[in-house]
Amino acid sequence: MSSNFYRKLHRWRLRHLSEPVMVMLLAVAVGLLSGLAAVALKTIVHYAGTFVTRMATDPSFIIHHSSLIIIFLLPLIGIFLTVMFVRYIVRGDIGHGLPSVLLAISRNRSELPAKNMYSSLIASTITVAFGGSVGLEAPIASTGSAIGSNIGRWLRLSPKSVRLLLGCGAAGAIAGIFKAPFAGVLFVLEVFMFDLTATTALPLLIAALTASTVAYFTMGTEVQFKFTVEAPFALSQLPFYAVLGVFCAMVSLYFLRVTDHVEGWFAKRKSPWVKMLVGGLTLGVMVVLFPPLYGEGYAALTNLLHGNPDSLFAGTLYSQWAGNTWAIVIVLFVLILLKAIATATTIGSGGVGGTFGPSLVLGGLSGYFIATLGNQLGLPPQDTANFALVGMAAVMTGVMHAPFMATFLIADITGGYGLLVPLLTASAVTYLCISPFERHSIYARKLAEHGDLLTHDKDSSAWNLMNMQSLIETNFVIVRSGDRLRDLVEAIKTSRRNIFPVLSDDDKFLGVIVLDDVRNIIFNADLYDSVTVDDLMHPLSEGDLVRNSDSLTDVVEKFRIGNRYNLVVIDDQQNYLGFLSRANTFSAYRRFISATSDE
């Protein structure tokens, strides 16, 4: 019955709705669902985290009031439950968040498994509720992407439309979390590297506005870090914001390098139990010593924005230093160093979460640190809350390479554009400083290393992402060294091509015979047994050969420089594999561009 209904629905859609109109309508649906998913995730994590920590600190629940021991063990419990959920309920890898989405866009026709619509959401809830020091934004963006991808596939839309709906899901998720529709759209344009065209802009905006509306209706007008700028920006402060941008670039680079080293260390451990134990206990120690590292860290950041730095000392072993400005500076600096380690430890040991939230927290800590340190050193006084907000945008820019998304996100949070100039200044300085060290975002850098990233440069992406193996033509009749002209004539009779590769007995490529060069002797029977293919063969130069390990960029360069119509493909051991033709290669390029273009 359902299958019959599905076929009727599909036929009705094809008759009455064009695909662009269908995408517009589905953008509303995807925005609605991704917005609801964002609201559900934030709400569940809030109440689950509150419940867990209350149990951990409630004297009536804990024997001998040993709350520190419980807090110490909570991250380990959360990572253990997350790993068990992934291994025994999901029964498979749920991917690595946004890098998996980028890989699907580049390599898998924007198709994401249906399980991604719920697996990241549940796994990240468990991880963060029990103290995992990661963010929820990347998992919910992955969830929204999976919702859009699967709706598009279910309705049999083209790969272009599926990709666009995937982007709508991500835009809706970010917009729903922060109630910032423009930030959601810019997130997709900068992080997923969609091109800004009329085709993409309207569906993305529709999805983001729908998700934001859902969030407003279900959660009210309050937003994450809601803050009204009270200290106005003065042009004389611009150099200090530029200095903040440089510092945030250093913090961003530190975060990226620590992530590489810590996650790399965990990746080398074969046993998941060792990973869980080491990661959970390490994180537990950090959380006991520095409670702001527990969970997302947004509570500590909110307190800083509202001028309450003493909250950093609450429930700590060094609470007697609260109110001491130098102690605040030291604790802020230590938190900056440890937040990166805590995030990488959580992810590396088996927890599920993203780096979007940690980059916001790191930025807020960095901005507050620079302003407090400068004020303490007697420099012209700066507003600590403004610096924290600008620092959030700057570190997000350095980590995610998304300066406009970061700028407009913070502008939406503050409810205006009073900080627009310092936001753009610090973000630009951070971006310029980190670009020589990191060309891609934290989500895209490893994909770019392996040539698996679709970027705004569609030409470069096409040659990097197209599969050369699928373009190799093998319908050429081969002849062997030592064969006579008689054997070549028999090969010509059965071949539809005018080129004949010559191989040795062990399949090593030796050269080619071109039909036009032997046409004048193939009818001379007197030569059939006296002339061999070695007499007729053309040995080829390096300009005529490509190896299967070469990139298509190298292939195109050889086509261009040598003005050749066919290139022989061999492996590193000189074994013959086939031919690449200029016509077939460039036809595949045009198909790729057509399939990935946002117009």
| Cα–Cα dist 444/436, whole Å | 16
Q: In sequence order, which residues have a C-beta less than 8 Å from that of residue 44 and are 6 or more positions away?
A: 125, 129
Continuous segment of H or E residues that includes residue 305: helix 298-305
Average pLDDT over residues 542-569: 80
Tell whether 428 and 473 lie within a shared domain.
no
The verdict on residue 230 lying in a domain is no
Residue 61 confidence class, pLDDT cut points 50, 70, 90? very low
pLDDT band at 60 (very low <50, low <70, confident <90, very high): very low
CB 392 within 8 A of CB 363: yes
Amino acid, single-letter form, for residue 333: F
* Per-position DSSP letters for 233-282, written without gaps between them: --GGGHHHHHHHHHHHHHHHHHHHHHHHHHHHHHHT---HHHHHHHHHHH
Q: Which of 19-23, 91-95, 287-291, 520-524 has the lowest mean pLDDT?
A: 91-95
The string of pLDDT tens digits covering residues 299-316 is 888 888 888 898 888 877
Residue 57 confidence (pLDDT) above 90: no
pLDDT at 33 over 80: yes
Q: Which residue has the higher pLDDT, 464 or 177?
A: 177
Domain ends where: 195, 219, 243? 219
Domain of residue 302: give its range.
Answer: 235-450
* Domain contains 457: no
Selected residue with higher pLDDT from 59 and 578: 578
Residues 413 and 471 in one domain: no
Band of residue 403 on the pLDDT scale cut at 50, 70, 90: very high
Same-domain status, 300 and 158: no
**pLDDT above 90 for 453:** no
Are 543 and 565 in a shared domain? yes
* Strand 576-581, strand 566-570: pairing: antiparallel
pLDDT digits (tens, 9 = 90+) for 155-171: 888 888 898 999 999 99
75 touches 280 (CB < 8 A): yes
Q: How confident is the model at residue 363 (pLDDT cuts 50, 70, 90)?
A: very high
Q: What is the mean pLDDT of the chain?
A: 85
Q: Given this model, what pLDDT does residue 63 score?
A: 40
| Total count of domains within the chain | 3
Using the predicted structure, report yes or no on whether residue 372 has a pLDDT greater than 50: yes
Residue whose entry in the numeric block shows the structure tokens 């080129």: 499
pLDDT band at 221 (very low <50, low <70, confident <90, very high): low
Do both 241 and 387 map to the same domain?
yes
Q: Please give the distance of CA 269 from its chain centroid, rounded to a whole number.
A: 24
Residue 225 lies in a domain: no
Q: What per-residue confidence (pLDDT) applies to 53?
A: 61
Q: How confident is the model at residue 322 (pLDDT cuts 50, 70, 90)?
A: confident
Q: Which of 131-135, 499-503, 562-566 has the lowest mean pLDDT?
A: 562-566
**241 and 125 both lie in a single domain:** no
CATH number reported for the structural domain that contains residue 545 in this entry: 3.10.580.10
Assess if residue 455 is contained within a domain.
no
In a domain, residue 339? The reply is yes
CB atoms within 10 A of CB 227: 18
Q: Is the pLDDT of residue 457 over 80?
A: no
The reply to whether 368 and 317 lie within a common domain is: yes
For the ranges 65-69, 138-142, 258-262, 348-352, the lowest mean pLDDT is seen at 65-69
Final residue belonging to a domain, choices 190, 219, 248 = 219
Q: Give the rounded percent of residues in the chain with a pLDDT score beyond 90.
A: 35
Residue 422 covered by a domain: yes
Same domain, 158 and 211: yes
* pLDDT band per the 50, 70, 90 thresholds, residue 78: very high
Does 338 or 59 have the greater pLDDT score?
A: 338
Same domain, 205 and 248: no
Q: At which of 450, 478, 495 does a domain end?
A: 450
Going edge to edge, which strands form the sheet with 545-547?
A: 545-547, 566-570, 576-581
* CATH number, residue 146: 1.10.3080.10
| Interval 78-90 mean pLDDT | 91
Please indicate, yes or no, whether residues 357 and 476 belong to a single structural domain of this protein: no
Q: Is residue 228 part of a domain?
A: no
Q: How confident is the model at residue 553 (pLDDT cuts 50, 70, 90)?
A: confident
Residues 339 and 423 in one domain: yes
| 382 lies in the same domain as 495 | no
Highest mean pLDDT among 3-17, 478-492, 580-594: 478-492
Kindly report, residue by residue over 183-192, the tens digit of the pLDDT: 999 999 888 8
Residue 227 lies in a domain: no
Q: Is the pLDDT of residue 62 over 50?
A: no
Q: How far apart are CA 444 and CA 454, in angstroms?
A: 9
Q: What is the pLDDT of residues 103-122, one digit of tens each?
A: 888 777 788 888 888 888 88
The residue assigned the tokens 């973000």 is: 427
